Structures are given as C-alpha cells and as structure tokens.
Amino acid sequence: MRQLILMRHAEAQPSSESGDVGRALTPRGQDDAERIGRALADRGARPDHALVSAARRAQQTWEAACGAFGDVVVEVERGLYDADSAALRHRIETIEDDCGSLMLVAHNPAVHRLAVDLLIDQAAAPSTLERLSGGFPPGSAVIYTADSSGRLAYDGFLRPGDLA
C-alpha cells in the first residue's frame, strides 16, 4: 500500500426510525462528502480499494465522495460500524498488500483515535499531532503516504469547513 486515507462519515441526521445504523446524511453532509472527494482527488489521493462501514451514513458518504475517484473495489463491512481503533488497524493490515491506495470510511471515535495513533507511531511533529488532536469533524479525511519500506507518513488533513 502506498497511500492510506481515513475518513469519518459526513454529517448525519440525529436519529432514524431504523436506529443508529440507519441514520442518513443531512444535505450539508452530502455536500461535504462530495467536496472532500473532489479535494482528495485534486491532491492525487485516488483510492483503488475502499473499506466502508455498513452504516447508512458511511455508505452515503462513500457514494457522494467516490465520483471523484474512478474505478474502486469497494467492500461494505458491518464490522466497521462499531469497531475500535485496534480493529480498524487490524482490518487495514489484512488488506494493505492487496491495494495501492486504500480508503477507510468509518466512525468516531475509532477513526480519530487511529489517525492520532498513526501519527504517534511515526513520531509526527507536535504541530501535526495538535491539528488532529483538536478533533475529527464529520466528513474529514486524513491522508498518509507510505515510503519505500511501507512506513506511513502524514500527508494532509482535510476538513469540510476548511474547503472553499
């Protein structure tokens, strides 16, 4: 794997008749996901493989963002819905040799915790850690690029509120 993109689902409705897993994106969430998809593609972040939580809001986030990427192998997984950061990391590790650029669309707090853990693993600059420690808003994405030995390095943090 040469690139990893971690994305939190975009802004969702506060409730659903079908429970938390059925919560849909708000119109703002839909727009944010589309804009983040375009911003990722503009930066050269184009996944060839995606792991997406089975929660409705995560699937809708992927569907809104993916138009900017072209052909992508997509796996929708129930286990990503309530996974902790260690489970997310494990799932990434099981597939990393089979893809060039991997995107994971999942939920907080796990996606945020994993993003911070990866920064700590690489001894990232305090300013970078501080940027992510301030939160991981809905629809945000962090990009990591792998070096020749497979070590991930921070390559950017996109938040919907930061996009023009």
pLDDT digits (tens, 9 = 90+) for 35-91: 999 999 999 999 999 999 999 999 999 999 999 998 999 999 999 999 999 999 999
pLDDT value of position 80:
97
pLDDT value of position 134:
81
Residue 42: CB partners within 8 Å, gap ≥ 6?
Answer: none
pLDDT value of position 130:
86
pLDDT in tens, 117-145: 999 888 888 888 888 888 899 999 999 99
pLDDT value of position 30:
97
113 pLDDT exceeds 80? yes
Give the neighbor-by-neighbor strand order of the sheet with 141-146.
73-77, 49-53, 101-106, 3-8, 141-146, 152-158
Average pLDDT on 151-161 reads 92
Q: What is the pTM of this model?
A: 0.96
pLDDT value of position 118:
93
Share of the chain above pLDDT 90, in %: 79
Residue among 13, 64, 63, 60 nearest 35 (CA): 64
157: left (phi over 0), alpha (psi -120 to 50) or beta: beta
Please give the biggest Cα pair distance in the chain: 48
Average pLDDT on 85-110 reads 96
